[in-house]
Amino acid sequence: MDSDLFDDDHLAYAAAVRGFAEREVVPNLDRWETDREIDREVWLAAGRQGLLGLSVPERFGGSGVTDYRFRVALINELAAVGASSLQSGFSTNDDIVLSYLLRLATDEQCERWLRGFTTGETIGAIAMSEPGTGSDLQAISTSAVRVDGGWRLSGSKTFITSGILADLVIVVARTPAASDADAGAKAFTLFVVESGMPGFRRGRKLQKVGLQAQDTAELFFDDVYVPDANVLGDVGGGFGHLMDNLPLERLGIALAGQFSAEATLRWTVDYVRDRRAFGKAIADFQNTSFTLADLITRTESCRAYLDRAVTRYNAGTLTAVDAAKTKLIATENQWAVIDACVQLHGGYGYMLEYPVGRAFTDARIQRIYGGTNEIMKLIIGRHELAGSTR
């Protein structure tokens, strides 16, 4: 990990993740892709090695480590072996679901839910997207109505990462607003739906272009009774809670993109050195040299930008606009790098038996989820224009 971001503790942690990946991940990658699902055993193995839920406080079974650089090290090592699907599941748990729980859960809720995030026994999901809504969270129609002791939740969600395996799902639902003035941002609440609740159904496992091993599903809530003890955060505060967590979610997506680009460049450099055409190594052609020089320089520059974003996140100063910029630059660069690397591989780059081919299909979603890159541009543009004096 060639970066000034890390010290010896992070490097030691990265070495532990590397060993875990070699033992538990690499031998299973092809099978997971074929099955379109990752074994729960690898989650338990990661938990036994202390790779999950680092930020969970000690009193709830964790280590209480909030230095995000350890998460960066894990994302990097999983990208290095092409385990994008597993990395996506781990990030959903640690950067999204667990982040909501740590910020919003009561002590009683923490006691019930957090320990499983450190052991790998609990897989979480966040259910925001609905058919027809896309990035427009204000258009969510899943709703919850007040009943004695809790709520009745009805609706459906789609594109839910870990939707098949999830034990715990944070669901965004529309709830009655206190007044007409509150019918916008204050009309949403977060509910924690647990596996086995009557009326909670999982639909089909969706067939995707990439991230084949990452189970993605439709979820249905048929008049699900959710007790008040499973309301997360403030009633009516759901939209604000979502906005608070988006910087970390987008930073995680950006880092996945960055490290995928770096790994793909390493694979490509090795390939062009060995592969021969017209009597010489592909690396000896000027086009190859110029292409790689450009890709490597831009990717190293992007890495410096992301390192700064991680430092800001650790300091509590990473803004929503910073995170939007980070996701935009990293995922656009990821796509450009991997596309060019496929070209340098020629026909073999289009074969899924080569890691560059799988990286290509896995990368396409990066510019869509966590808010499309068009939304990132909108956020950045609005901020800059509103503050411009030129």
Nearest-angstrom CA–CA distance, 311 and 323: 12
Instruction: State the pairing for strand pair 124-127/168-174.
Output: parallel
* Amino acid letter for position 271: Y
Nearest-angstrom CA–CA distance, 123 and 387: 41
Kindly give, in sequence order, each residue whose CB lies less than 8 Å from that of residue 219, ignoring residues fewer than 6 positions away: 125, 127, 156, 157, 158, 160, 163, 169, 171, 200, 201, 202, 203
User: In whole numbers, what is the pLDDT of the chain averaged over residues?
Assistant: 94
Residue 205 bridge partners (DSSP): 217
C-alpha 128 chain-centroid distance: 14
Structure tokens at 86: 């597993």
pLDDT at 106: 97
pLDDT tens-digit readout, 9-65: 999 999 999 999 999 999 999 999 999 999 999 999 999 999 999 999 999 999 999
Structure tokens at 228: 């008040």
Kindly give, in sequence order, each residue whose CB lies less than 8 Å from that of residue 206, ignoring residues fewer than 6 positions away: 158, 159, 216, 217, 218
249 is a catalytic site residue: yes
pLDDT-above-70 percentage for the chain: 96
For 279: left if phi > 0, alpha if psi spans -120 to 50, otherwise beta; the answer is left
Kindly give, in sequence order, each residue whose CB lies less than 8 Å from that of residue 241, ignoring residues fewer than 6 positions away: 100, 103, 104, 190, 232, 233, 234
Structure tokens at 242: 């979502």
What predicted TM-score, i.e. pTM, was given to this entire model?
0.94
Confidence of residue 160 (pLDDT cuts 50, 70, 90): very high
Q: Which of 33, 249, 300, 374 is catalytic?
A: 249
* Amino acid letter for position 137: L
Domains of the chain as residue ranges with CATH: 8-122 (1.10.540.10), 125-236 (2.40.110.10), 240-387 (1.20.140.10)
CB 135 within 8 A of CB 129: no
pLDDT at 185: 73
CB 314 within 8 A of CB 68: yes
pLDDT at 390: 43
CB 160 within 8 A of CB 115: no
pLDDT at 288: 94
Beta strands in the chain (DSSP E): 124-127, 143-147, 150-161, 168-174, 188-194, 200-205, 216-227, 231-232, 276-277, 280-281
Confidence of residue 339 (pLDDT cuts 50, 70, 90): very high
Tell me, letter by letter, the H, E, C secondary structure of 63-91: CCCCCCHHHHHHHHHHHHCCCHHHHHHHH
Question: Above 70 in pLDDT, residue 1?
Answer: no
How many other C-beta atoms are found inside a 10 Å radius of the C-beta of residue 19? 12
